[in-house]
Amino acid sequence: MRQHSEIRWSEVVRKTITQKIEDLDVMDKLTAKSKLTQRDVDEIASKVDRAVARKLSLRR
């Protein structure tokens, strides 16, 4: 950070935090009416991961 003192680091951090909050708000809106449990989500994520790995020939 000292090597780039021309950068306003507090502004970079502020924008990053703001973007993360906006992303979380969108995620909350998308999932608000979901009836999926965490277990359901984990299972779906695992299936997606395996499918992507197969497609990329990373087999699991």
pLDDT tens string 29-39: 999 999 999 99
Q: Is the pLDDT of residue 57 over 60?
A: yes
Mean pLDDT, to the nearest integer, of 12-25? 98
Say what the pTM is.
0.58
Q: Residue 35 in contact with residue 43, Cβ under 8 Å?
A: no
